[in-house]
Amino acid sequence: MAMAKIAYVCSGGAAKAGAFHLGVAKALREAGFNFIGGTAPSASARGTPGPRDISIYVGSSAGAIISTFLAAGYSIQSILASFMQNDARNAPAPGDKPLTPLSYKKMFMLRPAIAREQAEPFLSSIRLFSRKHQEQQKIPLQFKWFKATGIFSTGGIEKYLRDDVLTSNDFSDYLADLFIVATDLNYSRKVVFGKSSILPQSTPSCTYSGHATISEACAASTALPFVYAPYTIKSPDGTSVHYVDGEIRDTLSAHVAVDAGAELVIASYTHQPLHTPHGESLAGRGLPAILIQSLYLAFEDKITRAREDREDREAALAEIDGICRKNRVSPKVRDAIRAVFKQKLGLKPGVKTIYIHPDPADEEMFFGEHFSLSAKNLQKIADAGFKAAAARAEDFSQFLQSP
């Protein structure tokens, strides 16, 4: 069964998610899929993707970085080697372009502005808590005292991608269609950056934009609140727009791949709540476990709701089609009715989405460190991703048959 376009969608989740996505990608490659990447000599050189070619990448947060690596033309082995150095299992093949590793220093760049942001609030707090002040008035405990916007900056990630990873920082120069998702801090919408020439139609809650560079888009998408400060990108009119993590608004933006014309969407995410054995509870595992589980429950719910919403709309369209046939509506009128409802419902029938996530019973995966760059830790997570994708081999098989 030949597909027009295949997309790989990668969620956020820090280094943990990045390793999982790589494990999934490795399994897809071994199953027979090809990852299209690298710059195009010319616009005419792009051609039409083959039936096994993954030519659309959609990434949020950590997924944005992995998607960028793949779109830039780095092999899966080269990416794995950059994360898990000195591991014979992940040695890149001869001729593979080496990828410079992402270090802690680049990932967590301290913000010089943090001292300036907190200087006045700090001095004010000293004055307020002085004995003289305490005797004169009540001390107002105000959240607004804390003026810092984040300890770290994603500027280090932006510089790493710009200087060490990308041969071109322009979306339009690459063979694959790369989309990076970020969230507008000051408006109820997410922004999807990509090639200006192929951007889908924007909606009130999702704006497609072609004015950012790839490294800027990734820096915006990875700006996780409380850890990183919002990342600023200049709009075409010169206005400064602040962006935060791409998963704040929408946990898994699989619809972006559909908007871009994908007919097979492979979505990888790590926001999988842990299903404990009967009689056991995470309540006894401490606050971090409870917090992570709570976040994962919320994220999974958003993914499930989006999935069910699409299924409901597809069922409604099928019901309308059935009514038309039952009442012997002419094919011409029936097609016109279907076209109207498809447009109103935002549907593209025939799209297949395969979701890949960790095993709900995998405690080691659930408790894995999110920001650790330890080769041993990342290898375990990559193995979990490979295993999760391999378990869906039957779902992939129909798309890997010779056309």
Q: Kindly indicate the confidence band of residue 124, based on its pLDDT and cuts at 50, 70 and 90.
A: low
pLDDT at 43: 59
Report CA dihedral (121, 125, 127, 132) to the nearest 10 degrees: 160
Low-confidence winner among 54-63, 74-83, 129-138 (lowest mean pLDDT): 129-138
Low-confidence winner among 22-26, 85-89, 241-245, 302-306 (lowest mean pLDDT): 85-89
Beta strand 231-234 pairing with 152-153: unpaired
Domains of the chain, start order = 6-105+152-282+351-401 (3.40.1090.10)
Q: Of 103-107, 346-350, 359-363, where does the model show the most confidence?
A: 359-363
pLDDT at 114: 60
pLDDT, one tens digit per residue, over 364-403 is 999 999 988 888 899 999 999 999 999 998 888 777 765 5
pLDDT at 400: 76
For tokens 């082995």, name the residue. 77
Q: 144 versus 230: which is more confidently predicted?
A: 230
pLDDT at 117: 58
Is residue 45 predicted with pLDDT exceeding 70? Answer: no
Q: 342 versus 31: which is more confidently predicted?
A: 31
Cα separation, 288 vs 390, in Å, equals 30
Stated length of the chain: 403
Q: Kindly indicate the confidence band of residue 136, based on its pLDDT and cuts at 50, 70 and 90.
A: low
Cα separation, 255 vs 324, in Å, equals 28
pLDDT at 120: 57
* SS3 state of residue 27: helix
Cα separation, 222 vs 3, in Å, equals 31
Cβ distance 356 to 24 under 8 Å? yes
Is residue 90 predicted with pLDDT exceeding 80? Answer: no
pLDDT at 111: 75
Cα separation, 300 vs 291, in Å, equals 14
Pure H helices in 185-330? 214-221, 254-259, 287-326
First to last CA, the chain: 6
Q: Kindly indicate the confidence band of residue 345, based on its pLDDT and cuts at 50, 70 and 90.
A: confident
Nearest CA-CA partner of 382 in 26, 12, 7, 9: 26
What's the token pair of residue 393?
């081999």
